[in-house]
Amino acid sequence: MTDLPDDNFPLPDETQSAGLFEDLPQAAPKVEKSYRVLARKYRPQNFDDLIGQEAMVRTMRNAFAMGRVAHAFMLTGVRGVGKTTTARIIARALNCVGEDGNGGPTADPCGVCPNCKAILADRHPDVLEIDAASHTGVDDVREIIEGSRFRPLQARMKVYIIDEVHMLSRNAFNALLKTLEEPPEQVTFIFATTEIRKVPVTVLSRCQRFDLRRVPQEQLQDHFAKLAELENVSIAPEAINLIARAADGSVRDGLSLLDQAIAQKDDEDGAGQIEASTVSEMLGFADRALVFDLFKAMMAGKPDQVLELTDQAYASGADLGVLLSDLLDLVHLLSRIKSVPALKNSAELSELERVQGGELADKLSVPVLGRTWQMLLKGIREVDMAPNRKAAVEMVLIRLCYVSDLPSPDELIKQFKNGGGNPPTGGSKNTPPSSPTLSSSSAQGGGEAFLYAVGQNGAVSTGYSQPEAAQAYTVPEVKENIEPVQEKTTWYSWREVVVFVKEKQERLLHAHLRNSVHLVKFAPPMIEFRVEDKAPNNVAQQLSKLLNEYSTQRWTIVLSQHQGEPSLMEQEAIQAEADLKEVGQDPFILGIMQIFPGAKLGKLVNPQLDEYGLFPEDIPSMDDDAGAMRFDDPEIPPYDPDE
């Protein structure tokens, strides 16, 4: 057997030989350093570089200054606002030793010490970043717990950064609780999540929570303009405005879009400017000027121009669903300018939005803008469900064109008052002639609207109108003239008895008298009625006891097998049906029905009726039995609901 060489045996020179069966290696070609995207190249290195998170930065600086740094942090917010970046800055701040190697924890890490450099390069052994999306189980958490028991290898603090922590399983969270509540002295946990509601409250209560906010659009514009200048890229302010708006508060999303916009340039030397049209085409937006032209043509009721502009946007590659969203944003902008006129001079708006937006806001009323908003909102949902998106968008826009000249509620009222309609002139048999009244109120959600109308007899009808004719109406509040019933020693009608029972808080008895009792004869101090089978057997005893307690007379309650009159609830239904029929034939209501096709009359509210939906009674004189009212007498004609 050949002896093994000792440690001093010379090894072959790797630069001269590559093995027995290989040629000598050639000089490796020089590989250029790969391009780093802007989101990585300009990632914040310290708290001063973070934008839009002033509250969190101020708290962290004070905590480091006072030596009151928590052992666990929970960073939450939408994507791209700096959660992981903030976690790395905290890790560097905890472990920075300064340029001389003698520094302590600081809110301004030096960036040049070995710990800062290693953390920046993502290769520090004591700063561990874990993706909870791929490490969701209990075993993964147990590894973290076991590792936290050992002291750091070279840093001051061992830091665990767990991203998307809401992805951990319930058992994994439970396994982490004890360590999170009483961690080792030299361990810090930093959690990041976009779904804070999915994190158990038991975990949240053990962490210091920071909500990272969306970065304002104006601040994003300034930030992107500075970075474009550092990259020696010329980009139009309107283009930056579009990118900042599309970023929706996310710095990372905005930088990715800026990277993409820079790549849109045709010239390699970078001398040309990136225009707003280029960015708009890249994002799938219609040109902003085209959106304004489309909106003005739509409000002017010109469907031919609207379809022509829509075809232009479609030919240029714009998503027509996004086009409706652009119109929706424009309606919101005009409503804001209408409410806050100072926005016309705001720096966050482009010149086009300030000038043309201000002019449109002055011309359009709030009801028209509200109606347009509702129809666009409903149209976007229709487009998402339609098999042909282009056809669905065109139908929505055509509909808006023909609704644009629909009169608003106040204009409609003026037309009727000035003789544009056919207001009723005759009175009803119950009330003197009166003009129906209408006033506007907010429309209901989903595009539908309530329709209220007052008829000649004072009845108020409610119902739903079609979404495209959506303007809501309501009637002014009417104070009822019914005076409360005072305590009496006798009662002159059956309805007075029922009202008295209600006043005495006998709710169950009152419900039975109203719904299940049919009056046969009322002759004070005697009442005869029939009780339905669904009511209890002691209704008569309960009523007799109550009346005799508050009356000087001795009241007698007689149970009968005769049919009697309808119950109060049945009489209310009969009266409501009669009122609905009468209101439906009113000329004014018929005129409204023609203006709002598909509208239906619903429940009636008549201030002339009492709480039982009936007209006030004419109380007859009752001397002994002469004035007794009997409802099953053969000589009396049968009860006719129409009379």
Instruction: Pull the structure tokens for residue 152.
Output: 């750091």
Q: What pLDDT shows up at residue 32?
A: 55
Is residue 359 a contact partner of residue 338, using CB atoms and an 8 Å limit? no
Position with higher pLDDT, 503 vs 607: 503
CA neighbor of 225 nearest in space, from 157, 161, 274: 274
Domain 284-403 has CATH 1.20.272.10: yes
Instruction: Pull the structure tokens for residue 441.
Output: 């109120």
pLDDT, tens only, 259-272 = 998 888 765 555 67
**Per mean pLDDT, which range of 1-15, 153-167, 286-300, 497-511 is the poorest?**
1-15
The yes-or-no verdict on residue 620 having pLDDT over 60 is no
| CA–CA separation, 542 and 516 (whole Å) | 14
The yes-or-no verdict on residue 75 having pLDDT over 90 is yes
Amino acid letter at 300? A
Domain 38-211 has CATH 3.30.360.10: no
The yes-or-no verdict on residue 356 having pLDDT over 90 is no
| pTM, two decimal places | 0.54
The mean pLDDT value for 397-423 works out to 70
As a dihedral over the C-alpha atoms of residue 344, residue 345, residue 346, residue 349, rounded to 10 degrees, the angle is: 60
- Give residue 273's pLDDT band: very low, low, confident or very high (50, 70, 90): confident
Q: What pLDDT shows up at residue 270?
A: 52
pLDDT, tens only, 80-116 = 999 999 999 999 999 999 888 888 899 999 889 999 9
CATH (one of 1.10.3720.10, 1.10.8.60, 2.102.10.10, 3.40.50.150) for 217-282: 1.10.8.60
Q: What pLDDT shows up at residue 268?
A: 54
Domain boundaries, the chain: 38-211, 217-282, 284-403, 409-474
Spatial strand order of the sheet with 449-454 comes to 449-454, 460-465, 604-605
| CA–CA separation, 299 and 123 (whole Å) | 60
Q: What pLDDT shows up at residue 505?
A: 82
The yes-or-no verdict on residue 331 having pLDDT over 80 is yes
| CA–CA separation, 321 and 377 (whole Å) | 11
The mean pLDDT value for 596-612 works out to 72
Q: What pLDDT shows up at residue 136?
A: 84
- Which of 385-399, 416-430, 599-613 reaches the highest mean pLDDT? 385-399
- Give residue 459's pLDDT band: very low, low, confident or very high (50, 70, 90): very low
Q: What pLDDT shows up at residue 507?
A: 83
Q: What pLDDT shows up at residue 442?
A: 35
H helix intervals, 155-216: 170-181, 201-204
- Give residue 541's pLDDT band: very low, low, confident or very high (50, 70, 90): confident
The mean pLDDT value for 393-408 works out to 84
- Give residue 355's pLDDT band: very low, low, confident or very high (50, 70, 90): confident
